[in-house]
Structure 1
């Protein structure tokens, strides 16, 4: 076994993810999160197939506003080619979310994706959100708004263009449920159709299921699906590992 394969096995077994079951309390205003998950498959006939998923999150939570930032990178290879080299960075501001049901949000993001044939995408927009439930054990939110987007593609889209700008509707569903302080199911989903072309839409689905093993240690599985319909490209991957959290 090569050193590279050994390192990949160690990474996939460790799968460190700083996440957890706790919420912000009145005295907790900062949250830092680093995750490193993935999976590996190796045979003596076909070689190694692996996927590594790393992300870094930092949050500041106050009574009347919160700021959330996230950067993630997914890299994958199979025995014949690279499958993933995808980066996503998001900066999100929520106003009045902690004091009333309706709240305001603003978001900006940058993305590039080898698997989606996306050289770069920049989005910026704002809208309204509504919190249906927000307790220690359950959270359900729905938000909607308008996003401006500028995009450069690696391949021509259905209209033959590789660079364009558009205005999108951005619908988001976010949820979290905790059962007996041991099992957690959470996720965030985006549906972003263009106002000018109904066939030009972006779909992002992410769900996580965690089992608490100790106060700060959880076993976590994650599901991710992304589709860029204008180029008929999509990706789907599952990862698993351990999770840890830190509030301060």
Structure 2
């Protein structure tokens, strides 16, 4: 055996689709995700577990989504991830075609980003530049109230409130009913401090086995610029989705 050669065991990856594609006959969506990985070398061991659950409902003039995720990891016996995110959003499709109003409530807790707790709530508008069954491109913008408890460099506690502008770029493309490319990307700038912004991106490329099972490659990136913390996760595996 070659010494110091990493051996990576990808146990299982089931990721929830970022943007559910409903039809006239489907009104509800369910997805479950579990990720497990072990990286073992002569110098130590790293492991990561990732769970996510998504529930969705859509009718002609309204849709709602409830997303929850939990990431837990250790490296050489030391905690690296203990991250929780829970978000509820509601969308109203009225007035103009391809246009909607949205409301959001979000809770985050992240050991890796040094976020003790973060509460976000706000409203905004969105417009779908492309809005077809196999091609979707949506831009949204709005205002959020952010109440956060962070840990800054040097272990300094930082509790604060701020208003943020929240801009999102969301897309989903399906090529020949086999290849799926989708993502959801946020930048949330404080209205009072140009150096205070959050970035959250999720982008994935998938190969469809059938209507409910995909083989995926996914890249996640998060940054909290106020305390200069970030994380990056590249993962491979399967996605499961169920519409009914």
Q: TM-score, normalised by structure 1?
A: 0.88
- Kindly report which structure 2 residues correspond to 1:1-248, keeping only aligned pairs within 5 A, or say none: 12-17=10-15, 19=17, 23-43=21-41, 45-96=42-93, 100-155=97-152, 162-248=158-244
How far is the alpha carbon of 1:47 from its aligned partner? 2.9
Residues 157, 64 of structure 1: CA spacing in aligned structure 2 closer, same or farther, 3 A cutoff? Answer: farther
Report the 3-state secondary structure (helix = DSSP H, G, I; strand = E; otherwise coil) of the residue aligned with 2:11: helix
Query: Does the 8 Å contact 2:18/2:183 carry over to 1?
Result: no
The C-alpha deviation readout for 1:85-120, integer Å capped at 9, x for no partner, is 110000001100797222100001000100110000
How far is the alpha carbon of 1:26 from its aligned partner? 1.1
The C-alpha deviation readout for 1:159-217, integer Å capped at 9, x for no partner, is x6610000000001100111111111100001001001000000111101111134432
How far is the alpha carbon of 1:80 from its aligned partner? 4.7
Report the 3-state secondary structure (helix = DSSP H, G, I; strand = E; otherwise coil) of the residue aligned with 2:177: coil
Q: What is the distance in 2 between the residues matched to 1:98 and 1:25?
A: 21
Q: What is the distance in 2 between the residues matched to 1:105 and 1:157?
A: 38
Report the 3-state secondary structure (helix = DSSP H, G, I; strand = E; otherwise coil) of the residue aligned with 1:119: strand
Residues 108, 20 of structure 1: CA spacing in aligned structure 2 closer, same or farther, 3 A cutoff? Answer: closer
Aligned residues: CA RMSD: 2.3
Query: Does the 8 Å contact 1:64/1:98 carry over to 2?
Result: no
Higher strand share: 2
Residues 58, 97 of structure 1: CA spacing in aligned structure 2 closer, same or farther, 3 A cutoff? Answer: farther
How far is the alpha carbon of 1:17 from its aligned partner? 3.6
Query: Does the 8 Å contact 1:128/1:144 carry over to 2?
Result: yes
Q: What is the distance in 2 between the residues matched to 1:124 and 1:80?
A: 36
The C-alpha deviation readout for 1:114-139, integer Å capped at 9, x for no partner, is 01100000010001111101112110
Q: What is the distance in 1 between the residues matched to 2:95 and 2:179?
A: 25
Q: TM-score, normalised by structure 2?
A: 0.90
Higher helix share: 1
How far is the alpha carbon of 1:54 from its aligned partner? 1.1
Report the 3-state secondary structure (helix = DSSP H, G, I; strand = E; otherwise coil) of the residue aligned with 1:230: coil
How far is the alpha carbon of 1:62 from its aligned partner? 0.6
